[in-house]
Chains A and B, each alone.
Chain A
Amino acid sequence: MPVEVIMPKVDMDMASGKLAVWHVEEGATVKKGAALFDIETDKAAMEVEAPASGRLQHILAAPGQVIAVGAPLAFIYAEGEAVGPAPSVASAAATATPEPAPAAADAVVTTPVAAIAAVEVANGTPRATPVARRLAREAAIALESVIGSGPRQRIQKDDVEREIARRAAIKPATPAPAPVYAAEPAAPAVWSEESGDLHVTTRKGTGTPLLLIHGFAADSAGWMALERALPRDLPLIRIDLPGHGRSPRRRIAGFADLARLVVQAFDRAAEGPVHLLGHSLGGALALALADIRPRQIKTLTLLAPAGLGPEIDGAALNGIARASATESLAPWLKRLTARPDGISHDFAKAAMLARLDPDLRAVQSDMARVLFPDGVQGFDLTAALDRVTAPTALIWGRDDHILPWSQALKAPGEVALHLLRGVGHIPHIEDPEALASLIGRHLRP
């Protein structure tokens, strides 16, 4: 059976990708792991490797075409394998269930993408036998992440067992809370400071704008999934933090310094009162901003905000900031979602592409060291939360591995608290629709 080449999901909020160029011509031989084609997403262009060795046949997508995630783009036939008739896209999608990967190493790479494709084909709750359901339940594995090998992609017992084994195999890659900070050399950063204002982008619309402040090691592009789920005419203002996105690399002395830059950007960008939303570090900054400019803030939405307690997964933050290769970045990224399988290899690869600049990594590492010394949140905003007068909502994933949601209990009684099930530290990416609907309720007067 030929191996299907599919549009990979390299971004959590990616539903389709644009094929940029094929590196291999139809009928030519290709080696597993060699560059096969390029795709362009909103964030990055990236190379996709051949999933198998053999001869590339039945190219179904031309450069420039936008293809749904999981849809077949071509097929690779093993050397000597008879080339069958070109499969129609529909039938190819129906037979998208891959053979179980023989090697665990292969499974680690291919399973998340393939699983997504299989589940999308099934269109709804995955079909699974009772024993498969029970085993998945007992192992706390979402059936959506398991490839079904039974009839019509029904998930069988051994499919779940394979998934359990796969996860057990990747466990060692998941970092133990290593003494990262102790090992960190106190060497001066090599990057040179830039000057200039924080980068601000806007989306036009009607009514009071929603101002978005992203978290550590993210940027304004990370709001894309949420923006799609929010009302189309809601005006938006997005601030890129210093050393993040397109903002200049600024050296900061501490949280107050960072908050000052954000207030300056706000004063510059906002023409009137705003609804304010911040995530993680951006949540702490939003809280600080609401504390400093109380009359300018109509509502405040804090998404897993920092600043409400000392605990934080500092190892993960530092690991993400410093990682210089997909292999070292991926295990840390997996801490961000409720379950490790929320982050695919291709997602990590795309994230790494955006972090190839060593200066950017150095800036963010320095910022992590300043803000979260010794893996502790070095700033406390609980007093600010007590002072906030704007209607405030705290939204937290129950499976947040970076900041524990129990910190939300510090909030005074007037603050609305929403704890999302099955969601980790990045609700705006893990479940943008649910978040948008909560925000919609909160913003309505």
Chain B
Amino acid sequence: MNAQTAIPEVKTREMSYAEAIRDAMAIALERDPTVILMGEDIGVYGGAFQVTGDLVERFGTDRVMDTPISELGGAGVAVGAALTGLKPIFEFQFSDFAALAMEQIVNQAAKMRYMLGGEAAVPLVFRMPAGSGTGAAAQHSQSFEAWFGHVPGLKVVQPSTPADAKGLLLAALEDPDPVIIFEHKLLYKMKAQVPEGYYTTPIGKAQIMRPGRDVTIVASAIMVHRALEAAEKLAKDGIDAEVIDLRSVRPIDRDTIIASVRKTGRLLCVYEGVRTLGVGAEISAMIAESEAFDYLDAPILRLGGAEAPIPYNPDLERAAVPQAPAIEAAARQLVRREV
């Protein structure tokens, strides 16, 4: 499933997205004594989404630490720990709460290496459960990847599969700089084969999930699966969509997207964050400025979240972010030259 991670002779095991993340953290805790876990209720409670699970029992409270209900305080301690040489994995209960820790993430973690002339590094991982669809309403359902992707000094990834969730987390720990991982809450229960043991998935590399000739759909996180669902429907009408899993918002994999658009001549960006000033806007501009421009045979389209807070009402919540039928319709419009 994953060209970078699934080597044929490697043994795989079916696990959920949450289990794959836990597996990655356990492997990291075992192989690297400087790795520690921090976050609210990640100890005996096992984490807000039960991702850390029993890790506190396996590795003890020195390495799996519950932090007080202060995101700013917890993140600050994590940044400090990283500066001393530890490799903290800091979990926010909801990515929305990262707003409380903006100072530590944006002004401290992202800036230290630069402002100290390379004398210090912040090898820190922030895990951020993100996205809508759980009925958690406006303050617990947002998609902030564009916010953080806007900050030089940070790396921002959005795994869409269990294998990538594990590989990207282990790659984030290898990285000397702060990495933010947006874990889509609706994906935690998704199951798939995951390679066993240690491996990394390169940060900054997109993945072609489904090759196609007619239209490029660049999607991220859960939108990858909705795009694949749409692509199957489109295929029945002879429309061959190429679905690219963006995987990394910063850095963005220019080459893969440009090559794909040069091939298909049509681009649809699908992302859950608010449509305006979002990740898709960046990809659209990047393509318009690139050598792929001369290959476009249709306007670039974006499907993003509504210009509104995520509603609590389940029907409205679904309507507020792109769903498979909307992706299918937009791709169809592009290919049938209706736009």
Residues in A lying within 8 Å of B, measured CB to CB: 129-134, 149-151, 154, 156-157
Contacts and interface: CB of A to CB of B under 8 A. Distances in A.
B46 to A, nearest CB: 52
Nearest to B299: A129
Contacts of B6: none
| Interface size classification for chain B | 10 to 19
A133 B297 CA distance: 10
20 contacts: A129-B296, A129-B297, A129-B298, A130-B293, A130-B294, A130-B296, A131-B265, A131-B294, A131-B295, A131-B296, A132-B297, A134-B294, A149-B337, A150-B337, A151-B337, A151-B338, A154-B337, A156-B297, A156-B298, A157-B297
Nearest to B296: A130
Contacts of B337: 149-151, 154, 156
Nearest to B339: A151
B330 to A, nearest CB: 15
A156 B266 CA distance: 12
A131 B297 contact: yes
Contacts of B293: 130
A331 to B, nearest CB: 33
A437 to B, nearest CB: 35
Contacts of A131: 265, 294-297
Contacts of B339: 151
B261 to A, nearest CB: 10
Contacts of A150: 298, 337
A338 to B, nearest CB: 25
Given A149-B337, A150-B337, A157 B294 contact: no
Contacts of A134: 294-295
A123 to B, nearest CB: 21
A150 B296 CA distance: 13
Nearest to B333: A151
A130 B337 CA distance: 14
A192 B17 CA distance: 98
A316 B284 CA distance: 51
A10 B298 CA distance: 34
The 7 closest A-B pairs by CB, nearest first: A134-B294, A157-B297, A130-B296, A129-B297, A150-B337, A131-B297, A131-B295
Contacts of B265: 129, 131, 157
A131 B264 CA distance: 11
Given A130-B296, A131-B295, 9 more contacts: A129-B265, A130-B293, A131-B294, A151-B337, A154-B337, A156-B297, A156-B337, A157-B265, A157-B297
A151 B295 CA distance: 18
B300 to A, nearest CB: 11
B177 to A, nearest CB: 37
Nearest to B293: A130
Most chain B beta-carbon neighbours within 10 Å: one of A131, A134, A149, A154: A131
A90 to B, nearest CB: 23
B203 to A, nearest CB: 31
A238 B339 CA distance: 53
